[in-house]
Amino acid sequence: GIPVVAALKKISRIPLDVHLMIDKPEKYVEQFVNAGADYLTIHCESTADIPAVLTQIRQLGCRPGITLRPGTPIGAILPYLKRVDLALVMSVEPGFGGQGFMEDQVVKIQRLRKEIDDQSLPCLLEVDGGVNEQTVARLGDADVLVAGSYIFNNDYRLAIKTLREA
């Protein structure tokens, strides 16, 4: 939550990528930005007015992002790609760590990469869920990988090294 973001901002120089898995994120955007979020990513299903929330995030000096859940068609976020700095593909169902990678998400990742590249958009492509030493090779189209369970359930130095060298 907000206190965790604030605490991390005090001790880290790397950009903080905050993924809001909440309904009506517009109620909390300002608090997360003030706590130190550098990227603030919302789910396309979480609000009735996606453009307004993305504008709110940017106007507060933060980089907006949009999330695609496994069951959501890619077309749901395509209209917003020009408005975001980060497009996140969830490759597991949100909410629980340690789930297995959903192979059918590779096609979405590849299609989203093509859309971003074809439009020459300055948008990072991020993948979250099931990222480990076995799945990383299929995720070369992504700019950012979230590998929480893999890193924190292993020797984190070795896990990070393994992912970087894959």
Cα–Cα distance, 11 to 159 (Å, whole number): 22
Number of H helices, E strands in the chain: 6, 6
Tokens 């990227």 belong to 39
| Alpha-carbon dihedral angle through residues 79, 91, 27, 12, given to the nearest 10 degrees | -110
Indicate the CATH number for domain 2-165: 3.20.20.70
pTM for this model (two decimals): 0.92
Q: Within 10 Å of residue 117's Cβ, how many Cβ atoms? A: 12
Instruction: Give the model confidence (pLDDT) of 25-38 as tens digits.
Output: 999 999 999 999 99
Residue 140: the pLDDT is: 84
Would you say residue 97 has pLDDT above 90? Answer: no
- The arithmetic mean of pLDDT across residues 45-71, rounded, is 97
Helices of type H across the chain: 2-11, 29-35, 50-59, 105-118, 148-152, 156-165
Higher pLDDT, 94 or 152: 152
Would you say residue 113 has pLDDT above 90? Answer: yes
Instruction: Give the model confidence (pLDDT) of 118-156 as tens digits.
Output: 999 999 999 998 899 999 999 989 999 998 889 999 999
Residue 46: the pLDDT is: 94
